Amino acid sequence: MIRFAVVGDIGSGKSFISNLFNYPVFNADLEVADIYKKNKSCFLKIKKKIPNHFSSFPIKKEELIGSIMADKDNLKKISSIVHPIVRKKLNVFLKKNKNKKLVVLDIPLYFENKLNKKNDIIIFIDAEKKQILKQLKKRKNFNLSLINQFKSLQYPLKYKKKKSDFIIKNDYKIRTAKNNIKKILKKVK
């Protein structure tokens, strides 16, 4: 099985590109959202570590944002609880898709959480800062200081770019993205 890991800046279009591969995608952001909605044990652990910010299960996005904005250490506390659960879900995904020719890993903290394997093919999604900001502003809970908190957990983009096997310049157009993916698949196969 070939593992493609898609990395890049927040809002650069990692999920947009990942979904165009037409192979199974593990989207860590969607998994985290699912954990907040369905995993009561996770909620109880977070509530125990950060008691003043969470009222009831399921975890509400506003409470999550409030806790992170109140104290930047809360993001690290939450991550220390959520990331091991995401890792387990990733392992289930990989087992389930072990007979597939290729899988795509859309994991924002791929390097930071030491998920990279020796033979992974890393694709860096490069996008213009103006375009990224435009994309981020479309999000329902757009909050620049919150985004900067998340960025503080991440390795520098230069590092990720240097570690990548391929770079896709994302112009947020499906045709361009598909052509880039086609070129990469041709080189890899």
> Domain range spanning residue 65?
2-188
Question: Hey, CA dihedral for 8, 10, 15, 16, is it positive or negative?
Answer: negative
Sheet hosting strand 2-8, strand order edge to edge = 25-27, 102-106, 2-8, 121-126, 166-169
Element (H, E) at 179: helix 174-188
pLDDT by position in tens, the chain (length 189): 999 999 999 999 999 999 999 999 999 999 999 999 999 999 999 999 999 999 999 999 889 989 998 998 999 999 999 999 999 999 999 999 999 999 999 998 899 989 999 999 999 999 998 888 888 888 777 777 778 788 877 899 999 999 999 999 999 889 999 999 999 999 987
Distance CA 128, CA 51 (A): 39
pTM across the whole model: 0.90
- Report the distance separating Cα 51 and Cα 49, nearest Å: 6
Q: Find the CATH number of the domain harbouring 29.
A: 3.40.50.300
The structural domain count of the chain equals 1
